Amino acid sequence: MLKSGLLFIAILLLASCPGGSSTISISHRTQPFVSRYENVLGTSLEIKVVASTAAQSEQAESAVLAEIDRESHILSSWESNSEFSRWFLTRDQPIKVSPELFEVFTLFDQWRGKTNGALDASAEAISRVWKQAALENRLPSRAALNAAVGRVHQVHWRLDPEHRTATHTSDVPLAMNSFVKSYIAGRAAENALKVSSAQAIVVNIGGDLVVRGDWSEPVDISDPLSDAENATPVAQLSVRDRAVATSGSYRRGVEIGGQHRSHIVDPRTGMPADQIISSSVIARNPADAGALATALSVLSPAESMQLIASTPGAECFLITKAGKRIASPGWNSYETATPARVAVQYRPASYRPVASRTEGQTWDSRYELGITLELKFVNGFRVKRPYLAVWIEDETHAPVRTIAVWYSKVKFLRELYAWSRAENSRSASDDTHIMNSVSSATRPPGKYTFTWDGRDDFGKLVKPGKYTVMIEASREHGTYQLIHQELEFNGSPKQLQIPGGPEIASASLDYHKIVQ
């Protein structure tokens, strides 16, 4: 168990502000408080509050959650009793709607026009055709796609600004996605700043985030070709009073005949948008960031750059299917000159490095281990994410590599009993807890993947042989689960399913050859 007198905290702040080389610093009077939730708007939620006290942080966090709940009850396409869902059941009647719903309808109309139809709430009609075809393991017919595209081209609502009414005019499925997560995140952050004494707030809903207040936030852009949580990001930013949104095909979609098809479809053609595998946008307005990220996944790079140039304050970064990286002219001003890693390390004062185990034969670097886990939660209910530690031990049970340690409050780290037990041989990872925000394509709630490349905490390849994968999950004074699974690493691929428990619903290990 960790002892209070044996810990020290090293906070490495290496993020530079856009356009300069100044370093982000945390005032001795303020600090970032971080909370993480699962099953919020169908994905995960991270709230970071920069405040002087825990009480201020809790007040701001409560305000963020309250606003997200309120907006969800208005705008959600998936909540049967939301204002939008009730409106959708009407037909050819002018319905007085809330200012928020009217604004979102208006924004969809505007973006439909700006993108020449590349962003459309009724693209859901096309998505359903592809989902049904995937269930039958076949490609959809051209006739079915043409019919869906025809339905998309209908008029789905009429707006009356004077009376703030919206008239539902079609029976086409509508999904209020695209920019709604960013829209809600922005309103939640701004509302929390107004009602609390917090210095700054960062709200990240499923990879779309908003930074508000006196704070420059380090942001990692996920690599679309490496979905692991501990993968090296493709870009590292420092953003202040901005929104960042990322869209991509690498986390969601359908499989047909063994081929992945993007969940993002082109409303103009009915085909999956697969030429851009990741599009990230920085913008002043959160809804702009979300809308642009989706549209840029559909448009050609040339069309995308024209659209970005016509949106004041917006910048973008695209990765094509061929691996080409394309950035708008001002994107580089947000990138950090040095890696924007805000790492918090916890090591015992008595820490002594474990001797290298790499003499002689070493791990085959063509192989890696994938560790996938799904957290347990009640479907339909928001739940705080448990503290989590993932690490590797050798045959003597000495720590070899810390893959991840996720927590919110330092004082409860000791409840990760197994991870914190070996005070004199604690791993020297500089990656145990990264405070950077991460912008990525939207993930399903509670599902996470990590990789181990066969290296120890000093970057050296270990010897082949038996190692134990340790996964520990704990709630503050709540339920607890420890998984330890031994595996032989000798260049022979292996897959293993691990039974679930009170905190981790399921886990799997996949030792495989890296696909180049």
Give residue-wise pLDDT tens across range 297-334: 999 999 999 999 999 999 999 999 999 999 999 999 99
Phi, psi values for residue 331, rounded to 5°: -60, -40
Residue 48's beta-bridge partner residues?
34, 202
Return mean pLDDT, the chain.
87
Q: Could you report the per-residue pLDDT of 33-71, keeping only the tens digit for each? A: 999 999 999 899 999 999 999 999 999 999 999 999 999
- Per the CB < 8 A criterion, the answer to whether 38 and 29 are in contact is no
Vertex 441 angle, CA 275 and 230, to 5° = 115
Q: For residue 511, what are the β-bridge partners?
A: 369, 494
pLDDT recorded at residue 108 = 97
Q: Which two tokens stand for residue 341?
A: 């890693």
Q: Which tens digit of pLDDT belongs to each residue from 329-368?
A: 999 999 996 544 444 444 444 444 444 444 558 999 999 9
pLDDT of residue 226: 86
In 407-503, where do the E strands start and end? 437-439, 447-452, 465-474, 480-489, 494-498
Query: Measured between alpha carbons, how far is 393 from 467 in angstroms, rounded to an integer?
Result: 6
What's the rounded Cα separation, in Å, for the pair 261 and 433? 34
Running DSSP on this structure, what letter comes out for residue 223?
P
Q: Are 123 and 267 in contact (CB under 8 A)?
A: yes
CA distance 230 to 473: 18
Enumerate residues 6+ apart whose C-beta is below 8 A from 5: 349
Measured between alpha carbons, how far is 167 from 158 in angstroms, rounded to an integer? 5
For domain 351-513, the CATH class is mainly beta
Percent of the chain beyond pLDDT 70? 86
pTM of the entire structure? 0.87
What is the arrangement of strands in the sheet containing 399-406, beginning at the earlier edge strand?
Answer: 399-406, 387-393, 465-474, 480-489
Specify which of 5-9, 34-38, 182-186, 455-459 reaches the highest per-range mean pLDDT: 182-186
DSSP class of residue 183 equals H
Per-residue pLDDT at 5 exceeds 80: no
Return the SS3 of 211: strand
- The mean pLDDT value for 173-193 works out to 95
pLDDT exceeds 80 at position 76: yes
pLDDT at position 115 is 97
